Amino acid sequence: MAEEMLNPIGYGGKAEKPLAPRLSSLRGKTIALLDIGFPNSNVFLDRIETLLKDRYGVATIVRHAKPSPTRMAKPEVRQDILSRCHGVVEAVSS
Amino acid sequence: MATASAATQTMPVDDPIEQLYERGVTDGFPVVPPTRERVERMLAGAPDCARDELIGTLGPCYGEATVEKIAINAVMAGCKPEYFPVVLAGVEALCDERLCAHGLNVTLFSAAPWAIINGPVRLQIGLNCGHNALGHGFRANATIGRALRLVVMNIGGARPHELTKATMGQPGQYSALIAENEEDSPWEPFHVERGFREDESAITLFAGGSPQQISDFQSRNAEQLLASIGFTMGGGLWNYKNYPLFGDTILVLSPEHAHTIAASGWSQKDVRQFLYDTVKKSVDDLKPGKDGGEGFGANILRTFEKSGLVVDGYVRKFRSPDSLLVVVAGGTAGRFSVAIPGWVADDLGSTPVTKRIQVSY
């Protein structure tokens, strides 16, 4: 006989979320680069910016940064990326 | 030849322990089934709290830590109802923004929310502060820390192979708890240093890594002993090139070591100041080189100089005397202490958080 047990889970739904739809092309798009704050991430992202523009025809790069690797991006940063960017590269280095 | 009985060949489909495993709500060990009766008994351990009271929300999934949800997880961890006020205060600390539980629960650093418990509650609920203080064998120590882990998993939504990305993990992730041995300490209790009265009980959460045991059998005064402990901490915490540490550090002194230091007339404050002043490395020794690729390049060392971290060509291991948390625990025989390195601190990460434990017995 199964006992009635109370649910220990306190958050809604599963932690895993599906990936957003992929872009078919980067040409002419606006892409955000989110620097999460590890050492040399600016060096790494500078190179990514060049590659995205020169090799893939990205029209505009929007640069943002998290306050530190351990803290979430501020709401206004997330909102800016959502409102005017087609995609985002959240990147590290070391 | 003996054969397995029929009873051992079948798995009961309604075994609650197996069902809880199937639902993925355990830490890997079996949990106590949270029946309504058991949860009600747990709630009675904190009679002044309403079951739907929201203690806080907990990242990374920002689940709501209500008193009842916490009680369910405390039952599963094996807590007695009289431990529940300690668990509630611990969850209050977990949900405090300064601890940065969101980052702590998902970082590559193998962190645990180390709990330091002080005050009369330790003896009232049977927390072990003496021999094997950081180890196994005592229900209160094992289950209070475990309850915090289950809350992190089941309310915070942090599970390994999902959002928890710790590279190595560590045994303290099952339960990480230090009850201070106030009775065998030569100094005032840790929570008194943090502004509480001695007759109050408090829990401090610290975002920490794995404990490192440090032995010293020969030193006979404060300066000798702390030079030895400091040299070991200087090399062993994070990496021997990590000067300064960008986190805080717990130093758990055994009673024998604490009394050796106190016999020289030194307080905990003197311990912190001595380690801050003496554990340092020359700038040249911090550069990557023949002793390994880790270290700081010239550009980083220049930022150290600009921010005043380089003094007379040396960089200190600890950011400030206050980045060291000195606690006394363990048995009265044995010249062993323990250092626990912290995750990154302050605006970069986590600040230790202390909460009062509301004991009503």
Beta strands in B209-352 (DSSP E): 212-215, 247-253, 280-282, 310-311, 314-316, 324-328, 336-344
Q: Residue B181, exposed/middle/buried by CB under 10 A (0-12, 13-18, 19+)?
A: buried
Under 8 Å between Cβ of B350 and B292: no
- Asked whether the beta carbons of residue B100 and residue A9 sit closer than 8 angstroms, the reply is no
pLDDT the model gives residue A2: 59
Report pLDDT digits (tens) over B285-312: 999 988 999 998 888 889 899 999 999 9
Tokens 């909460």 belong to which residue? B355
Contact A8 B154 (CB under 8 A): yes
B150–A69 CB contact, under 8 Å: no
Which of these, B206, B219, B243, B216, lies nearest to B325 by C-alpha position?
Answer: B206
At CA B325, angle to CA B324 and CA B327, rounded to 5?
140
The strand pairing partners of B64, in sequence order, are B57
Helices (H) and strands (E) in chain B, counts: 13, 13
Q: Given an 8 Å threshold on Cβ–Cβ distance, is B76 in contact with A8?
A: yes
B30-53 tens-digit pLDDT: 999 999 999 999 999 999 999 999
Measured between beta carbons, the chain B residues lying within 8 angstroms of A9 are: 25, 63, 154-155
* CA angle B311–B315–B321, rounded 5-degree value: 90
**Structure pTM?**
0.90
Tell me the per-residue pLDDT of B236-256, one tens digit each, with 9 for 90 and over: 899 999 999 999 999 999 999
Residue B353 or B297, more confident = B353
* CA of B101 vs chain A CAs: smallest distance (Å): 10
- Alpha carbon of B54: minimum distance to chain A alpha carbons (Å): 11
Chain A: nearest CA to B349, how far in angstroms? 6
**Could you list the pLDDT tens digit for every one of the 94 residues in chain A?**
557 899 999 998 655 678 888 999 999 999 999 999 887 888 999 999 999 999 999 999 999 999 888 888 899 999 999 999 999 999 887 7
Per-domain boundaries in chain B: 14-279+317-356
Residues from chain B contacting residue A65 (CB–CB below 8 Å): none
